[in-house]
């Protein structure tokens, strides 16, 4: 059964009567622009048709009561008394409530059921999807309007300061403001964005390696620190401001690893802008070529791919229907994506899964995904 219906059914069983609202908040893949967001750079993500659903009903008091169906767990808290403790997933709810109330948004309580078909910890932004689902639930319950940038920034604040993960702004922005059939070109310095259509006659395939991140948080923070060090030594506010020839002039004065990290970010920003241009022209082969270059740079210079992601991407590259493939998200584990001709997608999914199984002994998931809209609420 689809997660929307599961949430509705469970709501009726647990809370009696029906939900008043259905909130949907999607996961995302990033077409290109990886590890650029915290360098004030450019990203090109798209929201996907896998999502977190919340069936919910506002309350007259300040109590939030939520059943997380996929965990078989319930959590409740009072908005006047937000404190840490409880199941890990409930920290995202409290964190978002905390960030919203700090920013002065009036909040009222609600009860609800959360269910999803978005794999958790797979690099498809289940955390940001949950944050934006909760923000949407609060905005719907209290009746204030949805502002993409504001909500994304407060979701990020919840994750940085309440949950304690130092993510950038990309995931929350695409989840809050995605558009069906489009990717989002986002300037992570100004948060200005435009929607660019996916090229015709091709599809995006999610290639889940079946591996999950372990020590990712520390490696992510180390990459961030290296990028900041490069910017500091070069005397620029962020790597966004470093031109390729400028970076070359500094090469000898940067630690070799720090230099390679910076080279990835500077190149990736340029590729992301070129990719958005290619999409506007409907030039899928050029978009694919840029995705391949992105993967190679993430593998050799930024060093965030690893054997499973590399094996998956190589299997994808070998298939004739593949226009381009790369890891997506923070890296190390989780998912790759491929841009594939629509006509060849069925065979691609089968062959790449078989190739990956053969080379790694691991069980992958491969599926075509559609570019979907960002977080929304509809009356039930």
The CB-of-223 to ligand GLA minimum distance in angstroms stands at 9
**Which residue from 66, 67, 170, 276 is in contact with ligand GLA, where contact means CB under 6 A?**
170
Active-site annotation holder among 171, 208, 301, 310: 171
Which DSSP state fits 159? I
Position with the least CB separation from ligand GLA? 168
Which of 37/310 has CB closer to ligand GLA? 37
Taking CB under 6 A as the rule, does residue 37 contact ligand GLA?
Answer: yes
Region of 3-11, 163-171, 225-233, 354-362 interacting with ligand GLA (CB under 6 A): 163-171
In order of 33, 56, 173, 283, the CA distances from 186 in angstroms are 10, 31, 8, 20
Query: What is the C-alpha to C-alpha distance for residues 50 and 185, in angstroms, rounded to an integer?
Result: 21
Two tokens at 307? 């054997």
- Give yes or no for a contact between 112 and 11, defined as CB atoms under 8 angstroms apart: yes
Indicate if 171 belongs to the active site: yes
In order of 174, 181, 188, 227, 231, the CA distances from 40 in angstroms are 16, 26, 5, 11, 11
Which of 4/28 has CB closer to ligand GLA? 28
Taking CB under 6 A as the rule, does residue 55 contact ligand GLA?
Answer: no
Helix (H) and strand (E) counts for the chain? 11, 13
Interface residues for ligand GLA in 109-128 (CB under 6 A)? none
Query: What is the C-alpha to C-alpha distance for residues 72 and 128, in angstroms, rounded to an integer?
Result: 21
The CB-of-284 to ligand GLA minimum distance in angstroms stands at 22
Q: Any long-range contacts for 73-81 (C-beta under 8 Å, 24+ apart)? A: 78/109, 79/107, 79/108, 79/109
Region of 97-105, 162-170, 271-279, 309-317 interacting with ligand GLA (CB under 6 A): 162-170
> Can you name the residues that pair with 184 across neighbouring β-strands?
195
Interface residues for ligand GLA in 323-362 (CB under 6 A)? 329-330
Helices (H), the chain: 3-15, 88-102, 126-142, 148-157, 170-177, 216-234, 244-250, 256-281, 284-300, 307-318, 345-360
Taking CB under 6 A as the rule, does residue 155 contact ligand GLA?
Answer: no
- Give yes or no for a contact between 365 and 50, defined as CB atoms under 8 angstroms apart: no
Taking CB under 6 A as the rule, does residue 168 contact ligand GLA?
Answer: yes
Q: What angle do CA 130, 92, 117 make, to 5 degrees?
A: 25
The CB-of-75 to ligand GLA minimum distance in angstroms stands at 23
Which of 235/237 has CB closer to ligand GLA? 237
Region of 31-39, 106-114, 197-205, 332-340 interacting with ligand GLA (CB under 6 A): 31-39
Taking CB under 6 A as the rule, does residue 171 contact ligand GLA?
Answer: yes
Taking CB under 6 A as the rule, does residue 131 contact ligand GLA?
Answer: no
**Which residue from 4, 6, 24, 35 is in contact with ligand GLA, where contact means CB under 6 A?**
35
Half-sphere exposure of 218 (CA within 13 A, CB side): 2
The CB-of-38 to ligand GLA minimum distance in angstroms stands at 6
Which of 11/193 has CB closer to ligand GLA? 193
The contact set with ligand GLA (CB under 6 A) reads 34-35, 37-38, 167-168, 170-171, 329-330
Task: List residues with catalytic annotation.
Answer: 171
């Amino acid at each position: 059964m689809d997660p929307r219906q599961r949430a509705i059914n469970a709501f009726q069983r647990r809370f009696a009567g029906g939900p008043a609202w259905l909130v949907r908040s999607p996961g995302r893949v990033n077409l290109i622009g990886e590890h650029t967001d915290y360098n004030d750079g450019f990203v090109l993500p798209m929201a996907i048709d896998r999502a977190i659903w919340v069936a919910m009903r506002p309350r007259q008091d300040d109590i939030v009561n939520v059943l997380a169906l996929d965990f078989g767990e319930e959590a409740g808290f009072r908005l006047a008394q937000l404190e840490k403790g409880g199941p890990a997933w409930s920290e995202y709810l409290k964190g978002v409530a905390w960030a919203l109330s700090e920013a002065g948004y009036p909040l009222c309580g609600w009860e609800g059921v959360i269910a999803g078909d978005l794999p958790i910890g797979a690099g498809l932004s289940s955390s940001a999807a949950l944050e934006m689902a909760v923000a949407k639930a609060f905005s719907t319950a209290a009746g204030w309007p949805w502002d993409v940038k504001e909500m994304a920034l407060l979701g990020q604040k919840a994750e940085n300061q309440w949950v304690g993960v130092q993510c950038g702004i990309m995931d929350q922005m695409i989840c809050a403001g995605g558009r069906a059939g489009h990717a989002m070109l986002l300037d992570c310095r100004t948060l200005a964005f435009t929607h660019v259509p996916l090229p015709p006659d091709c599809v995006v395939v999610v290639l889940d390696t079946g591996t999950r991140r372990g020590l990712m948080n520390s490696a992510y923070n180390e990459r961030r620190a290296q990028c900041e060090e490069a910017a500091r030594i070069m005397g620029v506010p962020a790597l966004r401001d470093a031109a390729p020839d400028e970076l070359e002039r500094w090469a000898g004065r940067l630690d070799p690893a720090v230099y390679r990290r910076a080279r990835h970010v500077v190149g990736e920003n340029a590729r992301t802008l070129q990719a958005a241009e290619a999409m506007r022209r409907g030039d899928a082969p050029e978009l694919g070529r840029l995705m391949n270059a992105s993967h190679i740079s993430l593998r050799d210079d930024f060093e965030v791919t690893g054997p499973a992601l590399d094996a998956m991407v190589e299997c994808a590259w070998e298939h004739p229907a593949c226009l381009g493939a790369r890891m997506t998200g923070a890296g190390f584990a989780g998912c790759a994506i491929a841009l594939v001709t629509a006509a060849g997608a069925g065979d691609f999914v089968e062959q790449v899964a078989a190739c990956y199984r053969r080379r790694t002994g691991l069980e992958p998931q491969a599926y075509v995904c559609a570019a979907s809209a960002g977080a929304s609420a509809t009356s039930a």
